[in-house]
Amino acid sequence: MPALRSNAKPRTYIILLCAIATFVSLVSAYFTYTNARSSAEDSLKLQALGIGVSIEAALKDGHDFALKKNIFSEVIADESRTGIAYIALYDNKGTTLAHSNERLAGRIVVDNTLAEAILSGKPFFRHSALATGEEVFIMDFPVHIKMDILTLRIALHTYPAEAAVRQANLQIVGIAGIIIALWIAGFLFIKAAERSERLEADLRQKERLAMLGEMASVLAHEIRNPLGSIKGFAQYLLEEAENPGNRENPEHYRGILKEQLGIVVDESGRLEKLTEDLLLYARPVEVRPEEFDLRSLVDEAVRAMGKTGNTDLSLSIPEGIRITTDRDKLRQIISNLIQNAADAASDNGVLNISAKLSGGKILVSVKDNGQGMDSETASKAFEPFFTTKTKGTGLGLTIVRKLTTALSGSITIESKADSGAVVTLELPEKL
Ligand SMILES: Nc1ncnc2c1ncn2[C@@H]1O[C@H](COP(=O)(O)OP(=O)(O)OP(=O)(O)O)[C@@H](O)[C@H]1O
Ligand SMILES: [Mg+2]
């Protein structure tokens, strides 16, 4: 379907645009999320280390005293340190030496990660969950007190540090929403474009059919008339041939024969012209430029026209205007214009064909003093099959315009009802 084929390009662009927007948004959302995650992790580590170091110092200062007074509850109560879930101190067997929740002191904890911190001598970080299900960030921090290596465990609430992560999540949801909206909008746009393409194609098809219908009816009419005449006169001649009276009066018979056959020839000529005009109208124009003398071409066109009644035809074309264009096409154009001028002019009409060269352009004017055109005729003159003549096809000016355009020229008509017409052709000197 041509409608869909011509739509393929915008559709590809829209899909490509949506895909690029989706990719860029997803990549940027991914980086925002991972950055937020790692900075939340870093800030939890720093906070835990800060607390760990300061508690280690306090424990070293006065080990027993600190344990008795429960330094951990004091740290948690300190308003400058927020987000601490609990603090505990374990020996290497898992015994809770101290706990911010005093009730848990003395309990033995079975926990492999405690040994891990002691063995590595480095702080060990991980995420875990409280009994309430809340997520906490845990640091197991080896502390050296006198001869012992103990593990200080600091558990932090992750919620405050992960504000940036939550914001990144929110941003991802927002971006996902925008991407979905973008795809829906793209899809709707493509559908609308396809629909309007289809409607346009339907309209073009209807216009083509209407044009074809009009053409068919004009053609049927144009062909039927001369054919009717040809048939009528041929029948008449047949009857005359069989008429015994004609044998006695051959002179009279010859007269009839000449007159009737003349009409048959004329009508066949009309049919021939119609066929030629139709071909010119329908076929693409193939231009073959050559250099020639303008005046000799116009002379040729005038001679080919034969006698145009009592019309007085004059030429005002200077000798030696050379033009490079398609000679045959220009002759067809000028012949059509002269024919129209001769048709419009009355028996004693005056026709003038003039030409001049001006700034690389050649202007050819065909002027007549005929009946001219009213505004309706002037506006429709170039339409195919528009004619005001009983024996016209209405293709003359349509062909003239088509050929003129093919020769990169233009054509204008100046005319008023009852005051003749001037048709001016403007062509490039060299095509
Ligand atoms: N020089 C002119 N003066 C007045 N009217 C004109 C002139 N040239 C064209 N017209 C008007 O324009 C109409 C269309 O002209 P066009 O040459 O296309 O067709 P046509 O002459 O009627 O038929 P044909 O196809 O045989 O040329 C004419 O029927 C006529 O009414
Ligand atoms: Mg004509």
Worst-scoring range by mean pLDDT, 1-5, 79-83, 250-254, 257-261?
1-5
The answer, yes or no, to whether residue 244 has pLDDT greater than 90, is no
Separation of 211 CA from ligand 1 center, angstroms?
A: 20
Read off the tokens for 354. 């003039």
Higher per-residue confidence, 372 vs 110: 372
Do 180 and 325 fall into the same domain?
no
151-170 tens-digit pLDDT: 999 999 998 888 888 998 99
Q: Give the mean pLDDT of 281-294.
A: 92
Mutate which of 277, 389, 391 for ligand 1? The one with the most ligand atoms within 8 Å of its CB, which is 389
Last residue within a domain, chosen from 265, 280, 295:
280
φ/ψ (deg, to 5) at 352? -135, 135
- Ligand 1 pocket by Cβ (under 6 Å): 277, 340-341, 344, 368, 370-373, 377, 381, 386-389, 392-398, 415, 421
Give the model's pLDDT for residue 288. Answer: 96
Do 422 and 313 fall into the same domain?
yes
pTM: 0.56
Is residue 59 within 8 A of residue 143, CB to CB? The reply is yes
358-389 tens-digit pLDDT: 999 999 999 999 999 999 999 999 998 899 99
CATH number (domain holding residue 82)? 3.30.450.20
Q: Give the mean pLDDT of 223-236.
A: 88
Give the model's pLDDT for residue 7. Answer: 52
pLDDT over 90, % of the chain: 52
| Domain with 268 in it | 166-280
Ligand 1, atom 20, lies closest to the CA of 394
Higher per-residue confidence, 327 vs 275: 327
Number of independent structural domains in the chain = 3
The answer, yes or no, to whether residue 279 has pLDDT greater than 90, is no
Separation of 228 CA from ligand 1 center, angstroms?
A: 24
Do 276 and 381 fall into the same domain?
no
Q: Which among 431, 355, 364 is positioned nearest to 400, based on CA atoms? A: 364
Do 103 and 228 fall into the same domain?
no
Ligand 1, atom 31, lies closest to the CA of 388
Q: Spell out the residues 6+ positions from residue 48 whose beta carbon is closer than 8 angstroms to its own.
A: 123, 125, 137, 139, 141, 154, 156
Do 269 and 129 fall into the same domain?
no
Q: Which segment, 77-81, 221-225, 328-332, 391-395, is predicted with the most confidence on average?
A: 328-332
Last residue within a domain, chosen from 134, 161, 188:
161
Q: Give the mean pLDDT of 276-305.
A: 91
Do 110 and 241 fall into the same domain?
no
- Residue 308 banded pLDDT, cuts 50, 70, 90: low
Worst-scoring range by mean pLDDT, 68-72, 232-236, 242-246?
68-72
Do 78 and 98 fall into the same domain?
yes
Read off the tokens for 342. 């001769």
Give the model's pLDDT for residue 2. Answer: 40
Is residue 158 within 8 A of residue 127, CB to CB? The reply is yes
